[in-house]
Amino acid sequence: MKQLISLIALIAITINLSAQKARNKYVVETKNNVMVFTGTIDGKFNFQYYGQKVNDVTQIVKSGIGLNEDAYPAFGLECTEEKALQVTHSDGNLSVDLYLKAVNVTKVDDNVTLTTVSLYDNKYPFNVTLFYKAFYKEDVIEAWTEITHQENLPVMLYKFASFAMPIRSFNAWVTHFHGNWSDEMGMVEEKLERGMQVIKNKEGVRNTQFDNPSIMISLDGKASENQGEVIAGTLVWTGNYRIKLDGNFKNQTNLIAGMNEDASNYLLEKNEVFKTPSFVLTYSNAGKGQASRNIIRWGRNYQIVDGNKERLIILNSWEGVYFDTEEKVMLEMINDIADMGGELFVMDDGWFANKYPRKNETTGLGDWDVNKQKLPNGLKPLIDRAKEKNIKFGIWLEPEMVNVKSDLFDKHPDWVVSQPNRTTILGRGGSQMTLDLANPKVQDHVYNIIHNLLVENQGIAYIKWDANHFISNVGSIALAANKQSHFYIEYQRGLHKVLERIRFTHPDLIMQACASGGGRATYDFMKYFHEFWGSDNTDALSRIFIQWGTSYFYPAINIASHVSKSPNHQTGRSYPHKFKFDVAMTGRLGIEMQPKDMTPNEYEFTKVGIQNYKRIRPVIQFGDLYRIVSPYDNFGMSALMYVSESKDKAVFFGFNLDKNLTYNFPPMKLNGLDSEKKYKITEINKEIQGTEKKKVKSRVSSDNGIFTGEYLSKIGIQINLREAYQSVVIEINEVKL
């Protein structure tokens, strides 16, 4: 017995020693954070830690606090837990067992480092490569995975996540952004319990209408804006997705994020490389605000088209005239937006189709020829007028869609997403279908439509690219019978090919992504698009909530935010013009109404407001966002501010949200300023009353005062918004005395 015990002890020591001896540590490092892995060549590659940096990272490994879980857990040996990868090999074997082959670190530039981890199965020619790209200054890591094999027959992939990571906490909460048409990006915060929480989409086309593929996990209770540990992540993908948070008895939640594998089994051919979308994440020990600012900095610097270029002030025709895009009316709108100081006019839906003219939502999609009745002289007069007025011209398209009543469908009924022997489910107007972008012929057609329109009408500077249908009747004639389940992925690949070509041939084209409002708010799409339409709901109060949620992951340059008519067309509610304008100013400002419907005062206010926006635009569009009072806290108000990177300028916005109550708000403590600097605070966008343009009393007690950053952040400013839907905009500029 004694001998047996010493033998066990000896074995234990040997295992321990060899583990200690051979386990290398691999660190993916950013300015304030580290992600730590351990591994041995021909041994396992394990995730240990993600969070704030310490001077000596070896302590994380030495101390044994690391999580020591497979960095990319695969199904088959351990079969009880949720996995990142699940396959069936060509011989029917259901398991994958991954070992480390090599870790390579490449310095891409002064700020970016790429760590590549090659893993192999020791019994099958099956390989997985994990990529971790670290953006040092932004404190962001972008992670993705490639899967390939050299088996003689195809391998079926059932699960193929982008990224997996265990998180340990007693009291973790997840914030996600749930919504609906007209009510996008509503913030929901839930405690992570044992069992699985899944955030997902299966719409095929507009994947952010119901839940954005973005989450914030706070590790120490509900997340707060400025305190606490938060991990934020977003999946760079516009197709179906799943973000799983699988909580278990170890006080551990396994985060697994990637494409939605549902109905998407993927038959991987020999040597084919399956590349997943990336998952972009950051860690903050200063609350959600910092996590949000990190992701947004990364977005502007590395992902969004022209991420550091100013966005123009737009008039969009939709809510002003809907389908009535007659030449005379369009010309008047161009004149008006130019007169108000705007910079771009967009002619929305209604301008196209002749065989089945686009009079309403039931006809014409797919036929992108200018409607001869509404625009007998084509687009030229509009483009010319815009040029003459020194503004840009843009146009609405829904390139992926077709109506039953269209010349395109008459000619190519087999180009729509449909199944043999089944009735196709129709969308908007009881008549809309999705074009089959898994089919290369359809990809070429869609590309050519846009390309030709731009070439034949020199001077179209902007496209609003809409997509108002989900995918039904999944399948494609372009895919083999055993690959029909690739459809969701192939649709996206086809769409991406079209977008790549357009960006390549038309690099200066400005593009807005729209999908029944905010259905395509993803970092995937922001590679091609400058912005997205935040929501079809233009009600200013609704927008305060929608834009609040959106602002956690996307900068103001992305969020198209327009002033519309009262009563609002979606909600029937009315607000003062100033309130609507001030709300729109917190994003990429635009107008979504017929300027002729404005009163003279509103028109005048708009002119002054546009001038103000131009002046403060760099701060709003490129500054850091600090949220001061959340509309979700039910205090009857909402406040936020943008601060320039060098902290010499800031803009504060405050809104009274409550219809029924009159409030005295406590002083607003500002955030993000430099406590050493002195600032002058000036209220702008003051209401204009009466024809004599009398200005109302300031709503800031200390208007025009000069204060230190320290005072403004510790004690604050008093704003007086005593009535419902009053608002205030304050310009804050450094003064050097």
Residues in contact with ligand GLA by CB under 6 A are 318, 348-349, 396, 466, 468, 514, 516-517, 533, 536
Closest approach of ligand GLA to the CB of residue 520, in Å:
10
How far, in Å, CA of 10 to CA of 16, rounded? 10
Give the residue with the Cβ less far from ligand GLA, 467 or 712. Answer: 467
Helix (H) / strand (E) containing 431? none
Alpha helices in 222-326 (DSSP H): 287-298, 318-321
Two tokens at 18? 């060899």
Closest approach of ligand GLA to the CB of residue 518, in Å:
9
CB 433 within 8 A of CB 416: yes
Give the residue with the Cβ less far from ligand GLA, 298 or 318. Answer: 318
From the CB of residue 227, how many other CB atoms can be counted at a distance below 10 Å? 17
Give the residue with the Cβ less far from ligand GLA, 43 or 429. Answer: 429
How far, in Å, CA of 138 to CA of 727, rounded? 33
Give the residue with the Cβ less far from ligand GLA, 488 or 533. Answer: 533
What DSSP string describes 323-354? T---HHHHHHHHHHHHHHT--EEEE-TTSB-T
Give the residue with the Cβ less far from ligand GLA, 492 or 516. Answer: 516
Backbone phi, psi, residue 612, to 5°: -60, -45
Give the residue with the Cβ less far from ligand GLA, 333 or 729. Answer: 333
Closest approach of ligand GLA to the CB of residue 426, in Å:
16
Closest approach of ligand GLA to the CB of residue 212, in Å:
17
Closest approach of ligand GLA to the CB of residue 593, in Å:
13
Two tokens at 109? 């530039």
One-letter-per-residue 3-state SS of 280-301: EEEEECEHHHHHHHHHHHHHHH
Closest approach of ligand GLA to the CB of residue 367, in Å:
15
What DSSP string describes 526-540? GGT-SEEE--S---H
Closest approach of ligand GLA to the CB of residue 349, in Å:
3
400, 405, 410, 414 alpha-carbon torsion, rounded to 10°: 40
**Interhelix angle for 540-550 vs 577-585, to 10°?**
10
Give the residue with the Cβ less far from ligand GLA, 69 or 319. Answer: 319
3-state secondary structure of 556: helix
Two tokens at 111? 């700020």
The residue of the chain with the least Cβ separation from ligand GLA equals 349
Helix (H) / strand (E) containing 555? none
Closest approach of ligand GLA to the CB of residue 41, in Å:
53
How far, in Å, CA of 504 to CA of 454, rounded? 13
Give the residue with the Cβ less far from ligand GLA, 75 or 409. Answer: 409
Closest approach of ligand GLA to the CB of residue 514, in Å:
5
Backbone phi, psi, residue 669, to 5°: -85, 120
How far, in Å, CA of 719 to CA of 665, rounded? 7
How far, in Å, CA of 15 to CA of 34, rounded? 28
Closest approach of ligand GLA to the CB of residue 594, in Å:
15
Give the residue with the Cβ less far from ligand GLA, 82 or 466. Answer: 466
Closest approach of ligand GLA to the CB of residue 58, in Å:
53
Give the residue with the Cβ less far from ligand GLA, 233 or 595. Answer: 595
Q: Which amino acid is at 726?
A: Q
Cα-to-chain-centroid distance, residue 713:
30
3-state secondary structure of 306: coil
How far, in Å, CA of 84 to CA of 75, rounded? 8
Give the residue with the Cβ less far from ligand GLA, 302 or 351. Answer: 351
Give the residue with the Cβ less far from ligand GLA, 360 or 662. Answer: 360
3-state secondary structure of 240: coil
Give the residue with the Cβ less far from ligand GLA, 395 or 446. Answer: 395
Q: What's the half-sphere exposure (Cβ side, CA atoms, 13 Å) at 264?
A: 22
Closest approach of ligand GLA to the CB of residue 607, in Å:
25
Closest approach of ligand GLA to the CB of residue 428, in Å:
8
Helix (H) / strand (E) containing 375? none
Give the residue with the Cβ less far from ligand GLA, 468 or 547. Answer: 468
Closest approach of ligand GLA to the CB of residue 589, in Å:
16
Cα-to-chain-centroid distance, residue 570:
24
H helix count then E strand count, the chain? 13, 39
Give the residue with the Cβ less far from ligand GLA, 48 or 538. Answer: 538
Helix (H) / strand (E) containing 192? none
The arrangement of strands across the sheet holding 33-39 comes to 24-29, 33-39, 45-52, 69-70
Closest approach of ligand GLA to the CB of residue 402, in Å:
14
Instruction: Name the nearest CA neighbour of 133 among 102, 107, 165, 98.
Output: 107
Backbone phi, psi, residue 41, to 5°: -65, 135
